[in-house]
Amino acid sequence: MPVQTICRYTFIPILSAFFCLCSPQVVAQTENDTTDTGKKPATLHPGRQLSVGFNLMGPVLNNLVTNRHGLDATADYYLKNEYYAVLEGGAGGSEVHYSDLKYTTNNYYICAGFNKNILTRESNKDWDMMFAGLRAGWANINRSEASFIVVDSLWGIKEGQSPAKSFQALWLELNLGMRVELYKGIMAGWNVRSKFIMNGKSFKDLQPLYISGFGRGDKNAVFDFNLYLCYAIRWNRVGER
């Protein structure tokens, strides 16, 4: 069994279990918690929040994995009823230098969607969230000319090139994650993403090794983990509780 398969099927259950175990800690209540008293919280007016951030895993992976690179940014805006509009974007690429296959890709991407906070807000100051979300993603990919070698032990070696090509990728994402405020507008969180490519057949002739924003280009469904550091600005907050 390949190492990556072992890792995938080892770490996904571990991380899933880890998230489940962490969740009660994240939602652990403070001493002022009103949940147990049965009181219905008064209507809150948290106002507006715009947060911008970037994916901490991008720079880390750029150093760890030599054949791919990417950077991701995110922005979200609080709408109402614990719904957040989300816009994400980034750029990256991959470099394939195998003995029988060589090419590079570069791409940029945009994701748009929403998050729904499933935690009960405790006060107007409470912007911690555990969320589920949906995204639609689009990437524009430029692939260089690919050089390849087909080796046949009987007939000989055939070398060739596949011309450069630009194409697009479309995908849908399901997101689960959490975000907490560390200090006065500085927020950190993680999310787990299940991504499903919608037009995989359009680049079957040479699936890119990596699509920034999506992941492995030769898979129709991928899982991804992101760790975000964000800064939030707020306004129109009515009163404090």
Partner 1 sequence: MTKILGAFCALCLLVVVGTSCTQERLPCLTPKTVTMKVKTVKWVNSSLTTDTVLQTSLWGAVTETGTRGYGYAGRSSYALTLSPVADSSVWLFAPDTATGTPIDTLTLHYERVLTFLSNACGYTYYFNLQSATNTTHNIDSVRILNASITNNASTNHLQIYVHPNP
Residue selected from 13, 16, 22, 238 as contacting partner 1 according to rule CB under 8 A: 22
CB of 187 to partner 1, least distance (A): 11
Burial class (CB in 10 A: 0-12, 13-18, 19+), 93: buried
SS3 60: helix
Q: How far apart are CA 27 and CA 29, in angstroms?
A: 6
Residue 87 or residue 125: which is nearer to partner 1 going by CB?
A: 125
Which tokens is 238 given? Answer: 């009515």
Q: How far apart are CA 211 and CA 215, in angstroms?
A: 5
Residue selected from 156, 184, 235, 236 as contacting partner 1 according to rule CB under 8 A: 156
Phi-psi region of 22 (alpha: psi -120 to 50; beta: other; left: phi over 0): alpha
Residue 85 or residue 188: which is nearer to partner 1 going by CB?
A: 188
CB of 147 to partner 1, least distance (A): 10
The structure tokens 């590079």 sit at 104
207 binds partner 1 (CB under 8 A): yes
Which tokens is 56 given? Answer: 């901490």
Residue count at the site for partner 1 (CB under 8 A)? 50
218 binds partner 1 (CB under 8 A): yes
Residue selected from 86, 187, 206, 222 as contacting partner 1 according to rule CB under 8 A: 206
Which tokens is 182 given? Answer: 């560390």
The structure tokens 């571990």 sit at 14
Dihedrals phi, psi of 153, to nearest 5 degrees: -65, -25
**Binding string, 115-144, against partner 1, x = CB under 8 A?**
------------------------------
190 binds partner 1 (CB under 8 A): yes
110 binds partner 1 (CB under 8 A): no
Q: How far apart are CA 211 and CA 105, in angstroms?
A: 8
155 binds partner 1 (CB under 8 A): yes
Q: How far apart are CA 171 and CA 136, in angstroms?
A: 6
Among the listed ranges 42-50, 70-78, 129-137, 149-157, the one in contact with partner 1 (CB under 8 A) is 149-157
- Using CB under 8 A, list all residues that contact partner 1: 2-4, 6-8, 10-11, 14-15, 18, 22, 25-26, 28, 56-57, 60-61, 64-67, 96, 98, 100-101, 148-150, 152, 154-158, 160, 162, 180, 182, 188, 190, 204-207, 209, 218, 225, 227
